Amino acid sequence: MSFIVNKNDRLTVSVEDLTHDGSGVAKVEGYPLFIPGALPGEEVDIVVGKTLKNYGFARLLHVVKPSPDRVKPPCHVFPECGGCQLQHLSYEGQLVQKRKMVRDVMDRIAKLPDVPVHPVKGMQDPWRYRNKSQIPFSERDGKIVSGFYRSRTHHIVDTDVCIIQSEEADALMTALKHELHGLGIEAYDEKTHRGMLRHLIVRKGRATGEIMVVLVTRKKKFPQKEAVIDIIRRVVPDVTSIMQNVNDQKTNVIFGEETILLYGKPVIVDSIGEIDFEISARSFYQINPVQTEVLYGQALEYAQLTGDEMVIDAYCGIGTISLFLAQKANEVYGVEIVPQAIEDAKRNAELNGITNAYFETGASEVVIPKWYAEGKRFDVLVVDPPRKGCDEELLKTILEYKPKRVVYVSCNPGTLARDLRILEDGGYRTQEVQPVDMFPHSAHVELVALMSRVDG
């Protein structure tokens, strides 16, 4: 098979677009080449690294003509670290490209070129926004290294600073890395399945300032445990909670099954808007609470609640959207397949004195028909599915029971567009789409779409 371009070819190309993972896209006689580090509007020198039937990959050698939106990345390990993909693009440029990404899938996949896609709602200060850090530790050349994984690898890029996570996380990562060996504690080695400390997890309540530190260890017996607690309390004097999670398995999964309280309380509290949430070591909670309030506020606006509506929150998780909706709805029914999440949702409802939100464990496509069979009738359905989008059976359930409005919250523009097309073909009309920038400097964008049923 002959290709238009071949491996090791050196070319000068014009970059037209960005992929969903932040790579530049150039076309040679219609053949796409994906180029990490290149930006739309640039002319670049590249070397082709790999060619497949329909596309290829290339390495950026030199930017001949830079984009006016190209900036110097402030992080000293960008782009080696895989945590951010777009620090070389101005924040204003990131928002423009993310809107373009959404517009493209609405046109190409959803076949909805006339549906408005609004400008992306970005952050005033797009740094230090992460309220949770998961930092791997390992051994290299007799030293402890910690930081973040290089993209698509388990090679730790050693660093003391990450400017999208909390300063407390930076300080703890640095202190533990430099002091553990002096206590005779080794970091975990994935290859040999030896060593003690696997991960450091730091969670911070943005509204409350409460901080939880979780040490993920290979063994339950923790040598020098008190000394490590002293280090943490010295670095973060106001720490609220210190936990140990035990993971003795040879796996890439971060958490094990057993979690032990070492100091303070087993939970911290944070607030999004008027709603408080208890967060445990393994609770799911949105990474960027500032933008979560924007995202859920948009979902609430699209739900158009007057106080009389019955609402379903499918994929309700720990009840974050449900509790937002319950402030304006008659009743909200949340469904989620993860039992622990439902327990968290019930506890969070109780914490806030919310009595009109009800939660049930199970698959949405099973539980929702049961609710209808019990005589309940719903006006609005909100979905916030994982990246793979809505389950096919749930989409069939929506089309069968026909709630007046569907508010679709999505972390994946492609699967959102696919599902909108299915619902459009079943009698709904997409009114508008609002993107929200939940993860500045990454290639990700979240969205809220409003759909209304067409009667008759």
Q: Are 405 and 447 in the same domain? A: yes
- Catalytic residue IDs: 411
Percent of the chain with pLDDT over 70: 99
Residue 419 to residue 111: CA distance in whole angstroms? 11
Q: Are 139 and 114 in the same domain? A: no
Residue 456 has pLDDT above 50, yes or no: no
Whether 97 maps to a domain, the answer reads no
Give the pLDDT band of residue 14 (cuts 50, 70, 90). very high
Q: Are 379 and 240 in the same domain? A: no
Whether 436 maps to a domain, the answer reads yes
Percent of the chain with pLDDT over 90: 93
Whether 98 maps to a domain, the answer reads no
* Whole-structure pTM value: 0.93
Instruction: Give the end of a domain, one of 272, 303, 319.
Output: 272
Give the pLDDT band of residue 393 (cuts 50, 70, 90). very high
Question: Around Cβ 71, how many Cβ atoms within 10 Å?
Answer: 14
Sequence-distant (6+) residues with CB within 8 A of 248 are 218, 219, 220, 256
Whether 315 maps to a domain, the answer reads yes
* Number of domains the chain contains: 3
Q: For position 208, which CATH number holds? A: 2.40.50.1070
Whether 118 maps to a domain, the answer reads yes
Q: Are 138 and 261 in the same domain? A: yes
Q: Are 330 and 247 in the same domain? A: no
Q: For position 30, which CATH number holds? A: 2.40.50.140
Residue 44 to residue 253: CA distance in whole angstroms? 39
pLDDT for res 455: 75
Residue 358 forms beta bridges with which residues? Answer: 333
Q: For position 416, which CATH number holds? A: 3.40.50.150
Residue 376 to residue 391: CA distance in whole angstroms? 22
H-only helix segments in 181-259: 225-235
List the structure tokens of 115: 């549906």
Residue 91 to residue 71: CA distance in whole angstroms? 9
Q: Are 214 and 301 in the same domain? A: no
pLDDT for res 3: 63
Question: What is the bridge-based pairing of β-strands 357-361 and 331-336?
Answer: parallel
Q: Are 258 and 297 in the same domain? A: no
Whether 417 maps to a domain, the answer reads yes
User: What's the domain range around 376?
Assistant: 103-123+288-453
Whether 90 maps to a domain, the answer reads no
Q: Are 307 and 426 in the same domain? A: yes
Q: Are 304 and 435 in the same domain? A: yes
The pLDDT tens digits of the residues spanning 331-370 come to: 999 999 999 999 999 999 999 999 999 999 999 999 999 9
pLDDT for res 4: 80
Q: What is the mean pLDDT of the chain?
A: 95
Q: Are 400 and 301 in the same domain? A: yes
Q: Specify burial of residue 265 (Cβ count, 10 A radius: 0-12, 13-18, 19+).
A: middle
Q: Are 230 and 320 in the same domain? A: no
Whether 5 maps to a domain, the answer reads no
pLDDT for res 54: 93
Q: Are 256 and 325 in the same domain? A: no
The pLDDT tens digits of the residues spanning 226-270 come to: 999 999 999 999 999 999 999 999 998 999 999 999 999 999 999
pLDDT for res 1: 38
Longest dimension (CA), the chain: 74
